[in-house]
Structure 1
Amino acid sequence: MRCSVRYAGRLAVVLLCGLAWAATAVAQETASADEPLNGREGRQLLLDQFRPRSMLRVEQHLLKRAAYPVVDAHTHFRYRLHHSPEQLDEFVRLMDRNNIAVCVSLDGRLGDELVEHRDYLWSRYKDRFVFYANIDWRGDGQEDDPATWDAHRPDFGRRMAKRLAEAKQAGASGLKVFKQFGLGYRNPDGSLIKIDDPRWDPIWAACGELGLPVIIHTADPAAFFLPIDETNERWEELHRHPDWSFPPDKFPSRDALLAARNRVIARHPRTTFIGAHMANNSEDLAEVAEWLEKYPNLVVEPASRIGELGRQPYTARKFFLKYADRILFGTDGPWPEQRIHLYWRFLETFDENFPYSEKEFPPQG
């Protein structure tokens, strides 16, 4: 009996010591949100708590106005301002301060909605805005039942071409194609609509005949097509927005999507295509250069891609100088004014090591 008591006492001491050690370890390994983390104490820093401050001291040129009047070829005034007159007035004042002469709103839609968007922009600022139409794939069909969509009815391409002609008569200056084309819109059997399906050729041909450029968003950043793991350079962003990820078991590869888009560009040399977001390949400017050389009817714009471009300042500068007549200006706005200023700084100065976003935590990590 004495042996059992003695053993139980020793076991209790061991357990108490173990609990004390574990508590100390947890205290050391977990960073408290209320106190600064001291690395000397052995605590581990979680990635989403990492907020480094650069110690570099370099020249800063905080530009608040473009050197020359500019046209912002990539904006979303329907989706970002929701047709608020007050917000439109405020943004026009921002345009004046920043030397933005004209903005191209890509959210016009078609029919009555297009006229509504036109009137919203043009009622007082006709000389400041251009608007594009959009393809109405669904028509009067049910959103969750692609079999009922207008896109899958006979002669959709020709009917849509006619509606684009009407949109031009109403004032539209181009066509915007969203990334759901290839990543979201589906066939009746549930498969994704193919970008280079011949059914859509009458649309692209009509745009060429009507003089309507097509700005097309195909695929997304390269990291969005990779596993959300420790090797993904945009882990923080994808961790917050896992629906932005396109795993290979559910979606076509990024290369396949871009290749399909390029086949459309090649088939319609009389139609001007604007590759949105640096043709969505800002990670590989050498390949974008190959596309520009191969397709004379392709131009690009850098909306929401200065984060990638800024990581390769020498390569990006050479690219921009060589293809200056093939690059439009675009921001993906309307944005807060601080973000607009970052575009002037990126494009007009040799400043180094500055944020690509006005947000305290960089949205792309």
Structure 2
Amino acid sequence: MPNPEAPVTEIEDDIFQGFTVANDIWNETPLNPVAVPNGFNLTTAIDYSDVAVLINNKSEASRTIGWAFVTARNISADRVFIFDNSSNPTGETINRNQFNTYFLDPFKAMLSSYNGTDINYLVTTKGIPLRINGGNNKASFDQEIALAGGTYDSDIGADWWNTHDYGPLAGKQMKDFTRDEYGFFLVTRLTGYTVDTALELIEKANNSYGSRGMHVLDLATNRNDTGYKFWNDDLYVANSTLNGTMNLPVYFDEETEFVTNMSNVIGYASWGSNDGNWNKNYLANGGFDTLDSAWNSGSRYWNLSGPTVSAGDEFNWSYQTGTKQGGNGA
């Protein structure tokens, strides 16, 4: 009688022909503890192709921080917008004419000649002005440059605010942002008291990748029934979106005193006047309670070391007694 097992054996032999199996198939020494042995990094895991960097070439701080970010995030050269007029202001405050002449108009010109990938996000730096003064049309530099060349371009310098349709605060769902759809840029700034502080933001972002930090939302319920209620409403929406919808860790504070001494913070939102203790002095020796020294006559004095400020800015020191700390002026 024919052997019914023979064909099966031949088929099995054919299936595995050319394959070899080691005796220690389960031995993966050294064992890889992660799926990607070389790890993820910010240049390969996150797409920065729609990010542009603004650099004030007259400011050493702006050049240092801006190019450090360009290098760290592999931003292409065509998305680095350099303001290189030799008269560019570097102070924190400029007037409307300076904004238009040295920043807004050149930026629009650079945008008109740009033909790369769509830009949705702008990064400004320390060394680019913070604010535009001038009566009722004073504004933040970043919020004005965000409108350049888009749907809201005519609102630049206007004495009012406008509304948009992006995100939960506009009653919409959270989704990917594009300038083409919403008509403006989203702008963020790399800055700090010093250049090193700003550079640390880049490094800390590198080190935080793959981990979840805490979002701190600081709200005071004593403002819920005032004319400022809509600011608190925004914080309630932020909490429900981050913690509820996105399941991200949030520290949501509703006390009358502002939150301090939090660590591992990746995001923070509040607004100054929502704190019922806003006029309380939290600085050590804020009321000059501790004396530095005294002359032989008995007159006492305090030493002061003023901070270094940018060209065009100034720092003034004065003693007042209108608000006191520990019974003393400040």
Rg (Cα) greater in structure: 2
Using CA pairs under 8 Å that are at least 6 residues apart, name the structure with larger relative contact order, 1 or 2: 1
TM-score, normalised to structure 2, is 0.29
Q: Which has the higher strand share?
A: 2
